[in-house]
Amino acid sequence: MNMLICAYTNLICRLCSSSYTIISALFDKRLHKLLMVRSVDLLKSKDGQNRLEHHTDAYFSDKLIVRRGQTFQMWVEFSRPFNPKSDKLQLLLKLGERAASNPGIRISVPLVDVLEDSRWEMKIVEQKDKRVRLAVNTLPTASIGRYKVTVESFSQRGRLLFPCTPNDIYMLFNPWCEDDPVFLDNEAERKEYVLNSMGRIYYGTEQQIGARTWNFAQFEQDILEACLFLLEKGQVAMTEWRDPVIVSRMVSALVNSNDDRGVLMGNWSDSFEGGTTPTAWSGSGDILRRYYKSSGKPVKFGQCWVYAGVTTSVLRCLGIPTRCVTNFSSAHDTDLSLTTDIYLDEKLELIKDETSDSVWNFHVWNESWMTRQDLPAGNGGWQVVDATPQELSQGSYRCGPTPVSAVRNGQVDLKFDTPFVFAEVNSDRIYWQKKPDGSLSQVHVEKNSIGQHISTKAVGSDARVDITHLYKYPEGSEEERIAVETASRFGSKPTLYPSPTVNDVSIEIVMDGAGPRIGGDAKLSIVLKNTSSKQRTASLLYEVMVMYYTGVLKDTVKKDRIPIDLKPQETKTIPWTLQYNEYMNHLVDQGALMLTVTGRVNQTKQILATQLNFRLRTPDLIITPLEDAVVGKELTVKITFQNPLSQVLKNVLFRIEGLGMQSIRMIEHGDVEKLETVTLMEKFVPTVSGSQKLLASMDCRQLTQVHGFADIVVKPE
């Protein structure tokens, strides 16, 4: 019996051993077929392709620092060769940790065959044995910040995750990307306002202007980390970190410590015990490092130029073009009257407890460059951002971004904080005398004392540039008076200036039909109507400016005055022409222009103002099928284009898609002579029957928005 049991036991053992061997073999085989990530190389070296192409090679950090809206590359090594037919791959990007107050952002980046702009995508651009090189597309509107990266691999045998920690990716705004709201189209200005780590800040008085050199230190050790640490303190959802308007407004609050324990504590007293005298600082690096390494303890002490220097450092570090600007004889309007009010008693002595407005010898703020899609067209470009704590704005000590163009035109109803900035540069200094009964009367007005010699550093040199003309029209001019009086009507003293007795003259700009075409003269009409029974006269000022489609104004093309004499009840149409030779060298991207007409009726003081945004229409691509379209049969299509300009178009590229094609067909045509007609004969083989569209567009820096399409009905075989 014992022998039988022993034999049975040996048999069971042999069977179990055999099964274990089989299971181990199957497991080893399965493991072999799994697609495992062995390593990831983010190609983050400072002198490598990524950092050089993204203009981030100057940053001290050894992390991968990229700018959004631009492709970067990376290597991934697997446990075996990647098989595009059966294996799949994607990147998982994570910005921030999951929290109820700020849940962060999660992004999946799929693997595709062809990269398309404005999408999170990646493609394999090279494969070597077990390694693949990926080109990764990022969105031009992605949130900036520090992203954690995970590579996710899929095969028939399963899914595996490979966290790349601590190799995170830092993503910044991109002034080199046309689709980024901070795009700046001048390379010299990008080098100055983004890449230059040294600057000049002006101080003193309007008669005695001094200058000091400032080290912005935006690329130094720990500064990028400090800037992102600062954003995290802002209590703003990370989904909003994509918007330079919100980011710059947040930074203007966080650089001062008044209500959120921000970077700098202000001190305008005579004692700086326990801290650093504001005049002793010569750069931002030490300030930001102290703040970061103390986990957010405000640094003592700052005044306006220190706030502006640190703000420049933070915004340049994050990729927003920024500069320091000094305003001499800078007004501080405390009652939103949009005037600087000085109160005198019956003896013409100053009533100190009622005179709360002040005029600083100088005040330093910042300008940052961005589009303003939240405002009417024409308000993009330079925006005032001021971190010096002066007045509350929506509950916090912050100011901006304020469109400089809105300040210039007195459009103080536009956000943010335009009334305050307007008063700083262009308010009238009004002297009021208090009568025995408590009423006030104006006794004197100074119209040209506020906002003098507004200054910034020149591009590419240490020279001082006066930019007062960007903030206001020439002192005493009709345009400047109109701006001041228009602005005052939105203030706390809207009846300060005499209102027009009547509004009996109307003005509008009229465009015939679809509007002017590029290459020809732009012809519009200015129509004025006098509804009164009396004669009306005025002097109209017109100014036409080139404008980016985003609303950023570029150059003045033409500016002049038109005298107006209207008879009673007369309607007068004034032809207005902009000749081709006047605008041909000024156009940008989509041929957009803005015509502004202003004036004042002499008899009634009524202000006349109107604007028209218009585009110079581009020619269409004419697409003509030369025979019936049939599935499986070759179809010849003629595409015709005529250059409307009296100049050569360089490096013209045509792009064709549709008609069931799975990819874009690109045709490098080369140069197109002035006024030349181009004819392309392209052949297609339709694969799907029914109603189809064939689309074509032209890619040329000198002439944009040229495209066309044809509806084609494809018959079955």
Residues making up the annotated binding site for Ca(2+) are 426, 428, 475, 480
Q: What is the Cα–Cα distance from 218 to 676, expressed in whole angstroms?
A: 50
The answer for residues whose C-beta is within 8 angstroms of residue 283's C-beta and 6 or more apart is: 214, 215, 216, 217, 309
| 405 three-class SS | helix
- Terminal C-alpha separation, the chain: 84
Q: Which one of 177, 304, 317, 399 is the catalytic residue?
A: 304
CB 235 within 8 A of CB 302: no
Phi, psi of 386 (to 5 degrees): -130, 115
Return the number of other C-beta atoms located less than 10 Å from residue 26's C-beta.
Answer: 10
Q: Are strands 429-434 and 440-446 parallel, antiparallel or unpaired?
A: antiparallel
Q: Where are the alpha helices (DSSP H) in 39-176?
A: 49-53
Nearest Cα neighbor of 391 from 334, 326, 449, 468 is 334
| 291 three-class SS | helix
Q: What is the Cα–Cα distance from 703 to 619, expressed in whole angstroms?
A: 10
CB 20 within 8 A of CB 140: no
Nearest Cα neighbor of 258 from 306, 316, 228, 302 is 302
Q: What is the Cα–Cα distance from 328 to 449, expressed in whole angstroms?
A: 10
For residue 386, indicate whether it is catalytic.
yes
CA–centroid distance for 99 within its chain: 29
Token duo for residue 331: 């007004």
Going by the annotation, the residues of the binding site are 426, 428, 475, 480
Token duo for residue 39: 């390593």
Token duo for residue 213: 């050199």
Which amino acid type is present at position 144?
I
Nearest Cα neighbor of 526 from 606, 604, 599, 615 is 599
CB 658 within 8 A of CB 678: no
CB 441 within 8 A of CB 432: yes
Nearest Cα neighbor of 642 from 665, 674, 664 is 674
Distances (CA, A) of 49 to 67, 76, 115, 150: 13, 16, 19, 22
Nearest Cα neighbor of 537 from 501, 564, 569 is 564
Q: What is the Cα–Cα distance from 192 to 216, expressed in whole angstroms?
A: 12
Distances (CA, A) of 430 to 35, 324, 490, 662: 77, 29, 17, 70
For residue 177, indicate whether it is catalytic.
no
CA–centroid distance for 615 within its chain: 22
- Rounded to 5°, angle at Cα 192 from 301 and 466: 80
CB 61 within 8 A of CB 224: yes
The answer for residues whose C-beta is within 8 angstroms of residue 353's C-beta and 6 or more apart is: none
Beta bridge pairs of residue 403: 383
CB 190 within 8 A of CB 171: no
Q: What is the Cα–Cα distance from 682 to 643, expressed in whole angstroms?
A: 20
CB 638 within 8 A of CB 681: yes
Q: Which one of 168, 180, 341, 386 is the catalytic residue?
A: 386
Q: Which one of 363, 417, 453, 504 is the catalytic residue?
A: 363
The answer for residues whose C-beta is within 8 angstroms of residue 531's C-beta and 6 or more apart is: 504, 505, 506, 569
CA–centroid distance for 198 within its chain: 23
Active-site amino acid positions: 304, 363, 386
